[in-house]
Structure 1
């Protein structure tokens, strides 16, 4: 077997080095991610250029790329806060957020990869303590759930808006009160509901009684008007008309003349 030419060995070594270099320089950024470039010999974190996008990227082997998820993310947070009267309230919330893509380099440089734990969640805890402290346990349990959710979101958003984080929404999943307080509130709400039902039945009965009274008054007024209009002359005329119609009937009958000047005939028949 002939010996390899002297140039072959350096070529093979060079080829191997190129492969190693490419493998160290090639980076694949997945869907929903972006990369922050760190130049070891060029000033550190790149903040004045857009982050590296999805797909296959080639960087110098001595540089580094830090991968961030830039799609919407969710974290769950359980908090202990105090109500306006000092009672301990447990609050469960879901937080929807994402890093601001155009400031990803700044976020990495100033906050780091743990930015959610270092910046976002402390801001939400602070806002929740501030908001919940304005309400009583009864308000938190019943009517003000949507209000506190909106207020916590707005206050948290103000805190993180200049921290390169985009806060999309905060959802309050559960508000847990001390058992004794919860039972007292439920009893009170039940009593209020029963009171409202009683008032409704009372108003309904009053309306029904008023309706019957109006109908009775209407009938009485109608009868009074009718009685006032039925004079003796009118009654006599109507009696005469009825007698004439009956006398014209083919059925056999007996006519009895009433007594007095204005007496009306009485007609008796076998049919």
Structure 2
């Protein structure tokens, strides 16, 4: 658009120059050049009246430094050719601060280093999910500019995390209080973002690194707890096995007590006779009576 206008002005200048120089054989084309220049300028002005705002963006109008409060939504708009239109991305954006090289927005180690309540240095990797409030884009353009990620998102996030980390011990941040800490910093950062025209969607604490000495202490504690739990399980199992054996022995003893108290000589003799009768009826045995008092001798054919 601007190029059309510049090209048209150049053609007009050339046409007037040729018109004044009658001796130049190209002077007869001055009228044509003038006409073409005017047409090109007209096309440039006409095309600059149309402004397309892409999906997920809004446009903010400004004229000679004065920012208009009206916001252009996505679509095609007819505007004053003299207006300057600044587009803002209103989709979800992320800003990552990580200790891993080439993973965050900045090269090198960009993790957040904070001091916990017990004076230990904790390294936090964090991702901020946020978006621009469309209605607040004129205010953002006037007060912050287009580089709001480095002017607001980064410093506010890092400051608020450091401010809130001092309320927690290093081990608590690493384990039991991690969710509470994330919710706490979310609320404070959300309030700061809102006052600046930004909407905080989510804070993702990707990793919390503790000093090596603290890591070893935690690992030793976890191993000791696991060993204690394992020993408790073994003792409980042995106790159950001992209880089972005691119940089994008590049952056998009770059974023997019942048998011994209930059997008489007559009953034993009767059971013996029944057994001998069953053996005598077998085809594979022979009975020899030695005398009348003793029991018969049973011989097997096999």
Question: Which interval holds the TM-score relative to the shorter structure?
Answer: 0.7 to 0.9
* 1:173-184 → structure 2 map (5 Å cutoff): 173-184=206-217
User: What corresponds to 1:121 in structure 2?
Assistant: 154
- Alpha-carbon offset, residue 92 of structure 1: 1.2
Instruction: Report the CA distance shift for 1:269/1:9 in structure 2 as closer, same or farther (over 3 A).
Output: closer
Contact 2:287 2:296 in 1 (8 A): no
* 1:215-230 → structure 2 map (5 Å cutoff): 215-230=248-263
TM-score (normalizing by structure 2) = 0.72
Which deviates more from structure 2 when the two are superposed, residues 120-129 or residues 171-180? 120-129
Q: 1:73 aligns with which of 93, 106, 131?
A: 93
Structure 2, unmatched stretches of 5+, are 1-24, 98-110
* 1:77-156 → structure 2 map (5 Å cutoff): 77=97, 78-156=111-189
Contact 2:58 2:71 in 1 (8 A): no
Instruction: Report the CA distance shift for 1:256/1:152 in structure 2 as closer, same or farther (over 3 A).
Output: farther
Give the secondary structure class of the aligned counterpart of 2:135: helix
Give the secondary structure class of the aligned counterpart of 1:207: helix
How many residues align structurally?
262
Give the secondary structure class of the aligned counterpart of 1:265: coil
Higher relative contact order (CA 8 A, sep 6+): 1
Instruction: Report the CA distance shift for 1:237/1:23 in structure 2 as closer, same or farther (over 3 A).
Output: same
Pair 1:18-2:52 in alignment: no
Q: 2:288 aligns with which of 249, 254, 271?
A: 254
* 1:146-225 → structure 2 map (5 Å cutoff): 146-225=179-258
Q: How many angstroms apart in 2 are the aligned matches of 1:178 and 1:223?
A: 68
Contact 2:60 2:137 in 1 (8 A): yes
- Alpha-carbon offset, residue 162 of structure 1: 4.1
Structure 1, unmatched stretches of 5+, are none
Give the secondary structure class of the aligned counterpart of 2:72: coil
Give the secondary structure class of the aligned counterpart of 1:195: helix
- Alpha-carbon offset, residue 97 of structure 1: 0.9
Contact 1:51 1:104 in 2 (8 A): no
